[in-house]
Chains A and B, each alone.
Chain A
Amino acid sequence: MHGSGAEISREVFWNILGPGFPTEQVLLYVLVVIAFLLFFHGLAKSGFFTRMKAVTSAQGPDVERVNNAWDRFWYMVVDVFGHRKILREPYQGVFHLFIFWGFIALAITTAIVFLQADVIWPIWHVWFMEGNFYLGLSLFADVFGLVAIVGILMAMARRYFMKPTWLDEKGEDKVILWFILAILVTGFVVEALRIQATETDPASPMNPYIWFSPVGRTVAFLFSGMSMDALRDTHVVLWWTHVLGALGFIVFIAYSKLLHIVMTPVNIFLRPDTPQPPIKVMPPEMFENAETFGIHNLEEYSWKDLFDTEACMRCGRCVEVCPAFNTDKPLMPRDVIQNIRTYMENKAKFALDADGNYRIIPDEEYTGPALIGDGIEKDTIWACTTCMACVEACPAYILQFPKLIDLRRYLVMMESDFPAEVMDVFKGMENNSNPWSIGAHTRADWAKGLDVPLLSEKGEAEYLFYVGCAGAFDDLNKKVAVSLAKIFKAAGLDFAILGTEEGCCGDSAKKIGNEYVYQALAMANIETFKAYNVNKIITMCPHGYTVLKHDYKDLGGNFQVFHYTEILDKLIKQGKITLKQPIENLGTITYHDSCYLGRYNKIYDQPRDILKALKSGRLVEMKSNHAKSFCCGAGGGRMWMEEDLGTRINQKRTQEAEASGAKTICTACPFCYTMLSDGIKELELSEKLQAFDIAQLVAKAAGLDQNTNKAGNEDEQEAAN
């Protein structure tokens, strides 16, 4: 019994301990120990240790995970406690924050009570839980308990009333919220019963401070009519109920997605911390000595690939933002991760011998459900646009879509198994260094008559203008290349193009999974760049920008790479381009963030700054913008594949543009330009909507477009020419 004698405090274990030996107190701690033992038992029962054996036996190469450990630690702390990524979605973010901080505050309070009652008082007979400190602690716990309840109720409102389509609904999902709510409510009821019994009497020294437990005090009104005996009896029963509930919660963590409380922070610590796109690097030497490429088998994964699946709590944010899912294609990034986890569990169980020893089993021996086909369907693998929205959205820093690239690599390079229409793309890249399969000798035809300097003639230039296949071969995007060349010339930029010496950047091959062809194309470009001592490169296409800037480094190509929007923005701000003519008929404009410019490279402001500098139309945002932008549907090689499942991604994005009230969609990516132009035509919106690349608008505003200064309908323009 803790007869501290402090007046402004409370008796810990009030009404619980009998006289003499504190049997109940000992029982409580025996139960705590049992709960933790059951927690570990639960991990074993739920296959956690078996899966961890698979994780630690993974053979695939992995990158540095514990470098800059201190930075990683602080990043994790800020992310976990500050909910940096979780708050990206306000509603879910706030309720998780409420539950999280309620949980933390109550854990802190419980720890303080434990220290006081079971450590400091028995040993030193010091009672610090009194006076203002006690009142503050009481208020703190009450407020945060309420905050947690509000969080739980918000989560319930989402699960039972808002019912988003991407939310998972497994057995445990039906229980967890109710379970936590029960623990919180019984906690308050227990508190209220104690308050009713000990603090409502005006003679009690605590009576003046009774409202420092605002929730407990309020709930106590419910019990104002109860006798002291009834209060005490109910209190004992509910106190033990609350304790068993809280201890049961600890056990339940081991069996459920609640394990994310432990696993997710670890995964945040282990997160990739480079600006590189999150796709696995395949060192060129691999092609000389490796036996197999990509992944189709458990052991080919890196340990972190598999660990990722443990950190997933199925929140579904990746599903919510996935363009494939949102157009009814059979792809949910969360399920990709979960299916890999199930596959891992199946194979790991299979791999345990009679004595429980884990052994790596050869493919042929494993007869359980396979990874590709049983776990993840091929249609799922090919549905991904590599838009990176899933990776960006994931609060656990799991890499979802890169795991599909691993599977594509296996299918393409080992099995030659890919959508039939991709065959011509690969052959075009191999034979003519462009996915359009147009003769390589025509690569510089777009520049005819424009007097664009060739590096082979000029010898050297400050900037190489790397046009890319779209600007060189696609009729729509040739206009953008022409606009850029005119702008660069007018701004007096020291630049040149490679002409027919330029090659395909290889991005589509890479993202389709043909790393072999990608590296051949990349190596050829790197060699050419080096031969001309190229240092600075301007790209027209964000896809080329991404591979040239980041991925070529892995092949020994270190260049300073800029997207044209970075250059134009600078030139405009320096006054080297004068946007003297307002463009007519532009109307309200909206900017479509290219995935490869935005999420891959964090370029959000420059394109918008350029558009604002045009002074030719109000800029509005679409519902999905910046890091949450919605893909046009062409990334990841999808540009070259039929889209015969579900609805069309480009149309969904075009509809979003229409809904924004804009008349003009501006792009800074040739793929997006093509997809959105097609979207306008397919939806027969040409009367209401038009698409332009930003470079075209800058050329018009700078008076470099001889044709017209009206941003009219493209078809009308062509007819007029």
Chain B
Amino acid sequence: MNTVVCIKQVPDTETLIKVQGAGIVTEGIKWVMNPYDEFAVEEALQQKEKMKAGAVTIVSLGPDRAIEAIRTGLAMGADTAVHINDAAYYDKADPYATAAALAAAVKGLQYDAIFLGKQAIDDDAAQVPAILAEMLGIPAVTMVVKFEVAADKSTATVTREIEGGQAVVEVPLPAVFSAQKGLNEPRYASLPGIMKAKKKPVDVKTAADLGVSEGPKTVVKEMTLPPARQAGKVIAGDDAAAKAKELARILHEEVKIV
């Protein structure tokens, strides 16, 4: 089975984020592969291993630095990659423009399935899988926690996470799948994998090369950080009943949640 995995490089979840205008300061940030995309890569690799055939291609839109995330995917075991290295396009890209670039890159590839993370943990839009499927004219199944392919590769039986439960969906291939946590346990790249990844082919393209000129449909106007966490409050006193009363008062009058 041939698969394509679209990945995004995002700031590490623990890294210090500083807002500047409508974006963030990109210097001093530790960049990693979007954690949900790791599930996507892992699933593609497991399907390839199960079928003992096919290739896994990584596709990513991002500036020069995105190559690190691409190499991580290749180190995990993906075979080739397409790097849409276009900083100008990337800087302005919203989910629509991102999907357009990915769709253009994917069009020339052989694939039975396209995997993505369910969302990128930086902008949290969670739109790219669906828009990409629409642009390619194929079905999309989101929030996938279990994935099985029929022997003839004509359909996939997929378990989706839904509110409070699970749903099993059958879908004709090719299709787009977005990975949710629980789909698998992403592997840690082995050292030979890391060494080999350095030599694996990466096809570098610009938006112009791919013939995409779709502008973003949305523009970020402003970005703010959440307010700093307040210090905890200790309700002092010896009388438990009085303390409980005070707690209720604070929750009702000050925090206004009761």
The residues of A with any CB-CB pair to B shorter than 8 Å are: 287, 291-293, 413-416, 418, 420, 423, 426, 431-432, 437-442, 516
B 157-208 contacts with A by CB, 8 A: 185, 187-195
User: Across the interface, do A431 and B185 meet the contact criterion of CB distance under 8 Å?
Assistant: no
B190 pairs with A439, CB closer than 8 A: no
Which A residues are in CB contact (< 8 Å) with B32? 431
Set B16, B185, B189: member contacting A441, Cβ < 8 A:
B16
Contact flag A413-B15 (CB < 8 Å), given A420-B185, A431-B30, A440-B30: no
Q: How far is the CB of B246 from chain A (nearest CB, A)?
A: 18
- Beyond A431-B32, A439-B12, 4 additional pairs, beta carbon < 8 A: A418-B188, A420-B185, A432-B14, A432-B30
Complexed CA–CA distance, A440 and B187 (Å):
24
CB distance from A424 to the nearest CB of B (A): 10
How far does the alpha carbon of A442 sit from the alpha carbon of B32 in the complex, in Å? 18
Q: Contacts A420-B185, A431-B30 known; A413 to B14 CB distance under 8 Å?
A: no
Contact B185 A439 (CB under 8 A): no
Contact A414 B14, CB 8 Å, known A420-B185, A431-B30:
no
Complex Cα distance, B230 from A636, in Å, reads 38
The distance from the CB of B231 to the nearest CB of chain A, in whole angstroms, is: 12
| Residue numbers in B under 8 Å from A423 (CB-CB) | 188
Could you say which of A426, A439, A441 contacts B188, with CB atoms under 8 Å apart? A426
B16 → A minimal CB distance (Å): 4
The answer to whether A413 and B12 touch (CB under 8 A), given A432-B30, A440-B30, is no
Distance of A328 Cα from B92 Cα, bound (Å): 60
A292-B191 Cα distance, complex, nearest whole Å: 9
**C-alpha spacing A215/B15, complex, angstroms:** 81
Q: When the two chains form their complex, are residues B189 and A416 in contact, meaning their CB atoms are under 8 A apart?
A: yes
A287 pairs with B191, CB closer than 8 A: yes
How far does the alpha carbon of A442 sit from the alpha carbon of B16 in the complex, in Å? 9
Q: How far is the CB of B236 from chain A (nearest CB, A)?
A: 11
Compute how far the CA of A441 lies from the CA of B190 in the bound complex, rounded to whole angstroms: 28
Interface residues of B (CB under 8 A from A): 12, 14-16, 28, 30, 32, 185, 187-195
B14 and A431 within 8 A (CB): yes
What CA separation (Å) do A415 and B32 show in the bound complex?
22
The answer to whether A415 touches B14 (Cβ under 8 A) is: no
CB pair B191 A437 closer than 8 Å: no
Give A291 to B190 CA distance when docked, in angstroms: 12
Q: Which residue of A lies closest to B234 (CB)?
A: A719
- Asked if B191 and A439 make an inter-chain contact with CB atoms under 8 angstroms apart, the answer reads no
Name B's interface SS: loop
Partner of A440, one of B14, B189, B191: B14
Could you list 14 A-B pairs, sorted by A, with CB under 8 Å?
A293-B191, A414-B190, A416-B188, A423-B188, A426-B188, A431-B30, A431-B32, A432-B12, A432-B30, A439-B12, A439-B16, A440-B30, A442-B16, A516-B191
Q: Which one of B14, B192, B194 has the highest number of Cβ atoms from chain A below 10 Å of its Cβ? A: B14
**Chain B residues, Cβ within 8 Å of A418:** 188
A432 to B188, CA, bound (A): 17
Shortest Cβ distance from residue A300 to the other chain B in the assembled complex, whole angstroms = 14
Residue of A nearest to B76 (CB): A416
Give chain A nearest CB distance to B53 CB in angstroms.
Answer: 22
List B contacts of A431 (CB < 8 A).
Answer: 12, 14-15, 30, 32
Inter-chain contacts of B195 with A (CB < 8 A): 287
CB distance from A308 to the nearest CB of B (A): 26
B95 to chain A, nearest CB (A): 25
Quick check: B192 and A414 within 8 Å, CB to CB?
yes
Q: How far is the CA of A432 from the CA of B28 in the complex (A)?
A: 12
- Flag if B187 contacts A439 (CB, 8 Å): no
Task: Give A437 to B15 CA distance when docked, in angstroms.
Answer: 10
Q: Which residue of B lies closest to A428 (CB)?
A: B14
In the bound complex, residues from chain B placing their C-beta under 8 Å from that of A414 are 190-192
- A441 proximity list for chain B (CB < 8 A): 15-16, 28
Give min CB distance, B181 to chain A, whole Å.
Answer: 14
In the complex, A418 Cα to B188 Cα: how many Å?
10
Give the complex CA separation of A287 and B195 in angstroms: 8
User: Which residues in A have their C-beta under 8 angstroms from that of B189?
Assistant: 416
- The answer to whether B191 touches A413 (Cβ under 8 A) is yes
Q: How far is the CB of B48 from chain A (nearest CB, A)?
A: 16
Q: Return the 6 tightest CB-CB contacts between A and B, nearest first.
A: A439-B14, A441-B16, A413-B191, A416-B188, A431-B12, A416-B190
Taking CB atoms, residues of chain B closer than 8 Å to A439 are: 12, 14-16
- Cβ-defined partner of B14 (8 Å) among A292, A293, A437: A437
When distances are taken between beta carbons in the complex, the residues of chain A under 8 Å from B192 are: 291-292, 414
CB distance from A32 to the nearest CB of B (A): 57
Complex CA–CA separation, A516 to B16 (angstroms): 26
Closest to A433 in B: B30
CA distance A438 to B15 in the complex (A): 8
A376 to chain B, nearest CB (A): 20
Residues of A within 8 Å of B190, CB to CB, are 413-416
Kindly state the separation between the CA atoms of A420 and B15 in the bound complex, as whole angstroms.
23
Q: Kindly state the separation between the CA atoms of A516 and B75 in the bound complex, as whole angstroms.
A: 14
CB nearest to A293 among chain B residues: B191
- Least Cβ–Cβ distance between B177 and chain A, in angstroms: 23
Task: Give bound CA distance, A182 to B192, whole Å.
Answer: 59
Contacts of B191 in A (CB 8 A): 287, 293, 413-414, 516
CB < 8 Å: which of B14, B15, B187 contacts A416?
A: B187
Tell which of B14, B28, B188 touches A438, judged by Cβ atoms closer than 8 Å.
Answer: B14
Chain A, residue nearest B12 (CB):
A431
| Complex CA distance for A598 and B49, rounded to whole angstroms | 48
- Cβ distance B243 to chain A, nearest Cβ, rounded Å: 14
How far, in angstroms, from A414 to B190 measured CA to CA in the complex? 5
The answer to whether B188 touches A440, judged by C-beta atoms less than 8 angstroms apart, is no
Closest residue of chain B to A442, judged by CB? Answer: B16
Q: In angstroms, how far is the closest chain A Cβ from the Cβ of B27?
A: 12
Q: A501 to nearest B CB, angstroms? A: 12
Report B226 CB to chain A, min CB distance, Å: 15
Chain A residues near B194: list those with CB within 8 A: 516
Of A418, A441, A442, A516, the most chain B CB neighbours within 10 A belong to A441
Q: How far is the CA of A413 from the CA of B32 in the complex (A)?
A: 20
Which A residues are CB-close (under 8 A) to B193? Answer: 416
Q: How far, in angstroms, from A347 to B53 measured CA to CA in the complex?
A: 34
